[in-house]
Amino acid sequence: MSRIRPELESLDRHLRDAFRRAELPAAPSRLRSQVAALPAVASGRAGQGRSRRLRWRRPAALLTLVAAAAVVAVVAGALPLLQGQPQPGQATPTPSRSASSRTPSPGLSSQPVVIGSDGGAVLEDGPSITWTTIALSQFGSNMVGAVGAARVGGTMVVAANDTFMSDTKPVVIESTDGTRWSRVPTDGPEFAHALLDSLVAIPGGLLLVGESLDPDPLCADGAAGCMPVRATLMWRSSDGQTWQLLPTRTTAPFDRVWIASIAAGPKGLVAFGLHYPVVGSPENVVFHSPDGTSWSSAAFPYQSSESPVVLVQQVIATSAGFVAVSGGGADEATAWYSADGLSWKRASTPGGSTDPAMQAAAGSDGMVAYSDKLWVSADGRTWHIADTPPYFYGSSWIAGDGTQIMVISGQSVYQYVYWSQDGKTWHRGDSTPALPGVSIGAGGSAWILGSTVIAVGQEQERASPQNLYVGRIEGH
């Protein structure tokens, strides 16, 4: 058997070559005939009642599906009730709503439905949220995907990319009421050959962060083990309508850097990135700016156990500074904190989780991080596992704006929205209508903009185009 040659130094190029020369098998004739037997294909036209005429290759699959559906139905019905059940060491809760009732109680209860040993509680007095679905495909092709949302004055702005085929184009849309959205012109030279990555609010306006689609001149085609990196681009706007590309001297600190996460708050902006030198190992770096127009950088002095860099999944702004969370692979989920955005310390965390999908959100009096468990912290320095987490089930996701933390949790027929300022005491309301089967991406796919929540997701069939789900917070 062949072995790796020492001269195999450009992995990038060799992978391309290897896949190019690979002789892959065609679909077996058995599979081809099974697919051809599907009614629409066999008859040359679509039939009605597709689901009824579906042919399952294995009858057992249908039985398994039915059994699984039954189990899910039982569990789904029981879990919301279980949440209202007294847990060992907890006070007796007030009766909770049944799973079949989605009508808000006449007079929300401020009595806790769950009390935790750490002093946390879940109350039933939270504001509900009402959703409107905005199809992003109306602003381009079916391949429009949003990357960020922020507010400037009374205008909400969403940044996206239309990645139809290889013809990627930036898309920026704006709205004042959350229901009527219009596209902001992005066909000028300032947006040529650009890809948008994120959008944050800065003093006096908004900052778009993206990258040039032009090839890396120093590292074309992965030469000599070099990782191609695209040039960082930034645009500034005072109103969300007109955008100015910032000069290269502003983005010069980001030379050969991939920006992984960015956050803005009272202490300015922080961006985490990976610096890829043309020769040598990549380094984890962190950047800080007071206003987005001038940036300072520092090395991030922590390493992953499995590679020369550590990759921060998400950085969030807090009232005292910034918190970053990471995890995945062989590394346990971890948090760091910083007051100035450049000097970072490792937080005391519960450990034990290796789930890479780490999300974080900050309220006015505390913050949470979530992978497979919900962590809570008052200051970002010391974290513990929440004793009364919101009812995380189904496609749970969290968002925060430094004032409120929001968790949407539940499944297609029964969904709650939880609000908290400290991550310990949660106020539960309804999510109406429940977002059926909507899969919200983790970590930075939902934003709280004043009295509006904007989330990005798809319908249950995950191949469907992206939608914006614009939620109006009741009572605001």
Partner 1 sequence: MTSIENQADEQLERLVSGGLDRAYRLAGLILGNAADAEDVAHDAVVRAWQSAGLLRDPAAFEAWFDRIVVNACRDRIRRNRRVSFVLLGPDDDRPIADPFQALFDHDEALRLIRCLDPDERVVVVLHYWADLPLTDVAVRLGWPVGTVKTRLHRALEAMRDEMGVEINGKVASR
Q: Which of residues 203-262 bind partner 1 (CB under 8 A)?
A: 227, 258-261
Which of 245, 257 has the CB closer to partner 1? 257
Decide if 342 contacts 269 (C-beta within 8 A). Answer: no
Any idea which residue has 């006070």 for tokens? 91
Q: Does 163 bind partner 1 (CB under 8 A)?
A: yes
What whole-number distance in Å separates Cα of residue 445 and Cα of residue 180? 20
Residues 357-396 within binding reach of partner 1 (CB under 8 A) = none
Decide if 373 contacts 355 (C-beta within 8 A). Answer: no
In the complex, minimum distance from the CB of residue 46 to partner 1, in angstroms, rounded to a whole number: 4
Cα distances from 62 to residues 66, 73, 223, 268, 310, in angstroms, run 6, 16, 50, 55, 44
Which of 262, 407 has the CB closer to partner 1? 262
Which of 279, 463 has the CB closer to partner 1? 463
Q: Does 137 bind partner 1 (CB under 8 A)?
A: yes
Which of 46, 279 has the CB closer to partner 1? 46
Stretch that binds partner 1, among 71-79, 359-367, 410-418, 459-467 (CB under 8 A): 459-467
Q: What is the DSSP string of 144-197?
A: EEEEEEEEETTEEEEEEEE-STT--EEEEEEESSSS--EEEP--SGGGTTEEEE
Q: Does 464 bind partner 1 (CB under 8 A)?
A: yes
Residues 413-452 within binding reach of partner 1 (CB under 8 A) = 439, 441, 443-445
- According to DSSP, the residues that pair with 184 across neighbouring strands are 172
Q: Does 35 bind partner 1 (CB under 8 A)?
A: yes
C-alpha count within 13 angstroms, C-beta hemisphere, residue 65: 6
Stretch that binds partner 1, among 121-129, 302-310, 386-394, 407-415 (CB under 8 A): 302-310
Q: Which of 177, 221, 306, 372 binds partner 1 (CB under 8 A)?
A: 306
What whole-number distance in Å separates Cα of residue 259 and Cα of residue 253? 11
- 20 Rama sector, left if φ>0, alpha if ψ -120 to 50, beta otherwise: alpha
In the complex, minimum distance from the CB of residue 103 to partner 1, in angstroms, rounded to a whole number: 31
Q: Which of 14, 102, 183, 373 binds partner 1 (CB under 8 A)?
A: 14
Which of 22, 279 has the CB closer to partner 1? 22
Using CB under 8 A as the binding criterion, the count of chain residues that bind partner 1 stands at 82
In the complex, minimum distance from the CB of residue 468 to partner 1, in angstroms, rounded to a whole number: 14
Stretch that binds partner 1, among 20-28, 176-184, 385-393, 428-436 (CB under 8 A): 20-28
Residues 141-160 within binding reach of partner 1 (CB under 8 A) = 141-143, 145, 147
Helix (H, G, I), strand (E, B) or coil at 317: strand
Which of 244, 281 has the CB closer to partner 1? 281
Decide if 462 contacts 439 (C-beta within 8 A). Answer: yes
Written as six digits, the tokens of 143 are: 């391949």
Which of 174, 197 has the CB closer to partner 1? 197
Stretch that binds partner 1, among 6-14, 185-193, 361-369, 417-425 (CB under 8 A): 6-14
* DSSP 8-state assignment for residue 142: T
Q: Does 101 bind partner 1 (CB under 8 A)?
A: no
Q: Which of 32, 72, 177, 351 binds partner 1 (CB under 8 A)?
A: 32
Q: Does 11 bind partner 1 (CB under 8 A)?
A: yes
Q: What is the DSSP string of 335-400?
A: EEEESSSSS-EE-B-------S--EEEE-SS-EEEESSSEEEESSSSB-EE-SS-----BS-EEEE
Collect all residues with Cβ–Cβ distance below 8 Å to 53 and sequence separation of at least 6. Answer: 39, 47
Which of 163, 238 has the CB closer to partner 1? 163
Burial class (CB in 10 A: 0-12, 13-18, 19+), 101: exposed
- According to DSSP, the residues that pair with 271 across neighbouring strands are 262, 287
In the complex, minimum distance from the CB of residue 56 to partner 1, in angstroms, rounded to a whole number: 8
Q: Does 279 bind partner 1 (CB under 8 A)?
A: no
What whole-number distance in Å separates Cα of residue 150 and Cα of residue 196? 14
In the complex, minimum distance from the CB of residue 314 to partner 1, in angstroms, rounded to a whole number: 10
Q: Does 98 bind partner 1 (CB under 8 A)?
A: no
Q: Does 52 bind partner 1 (CB under 8 A)?
A: no
Q: Which of 156, 257, 274, 470 binds partner 1 (CB under 8 A)?
A: 274
Which of 376, 440 has the CB closer to partner 1? 440
Which candidate, 143, 146, 132, 140, places its Cα nearest to that of 180? 132
Decide if 378 contacts 323 (C-beta within 8 A). Answer: no
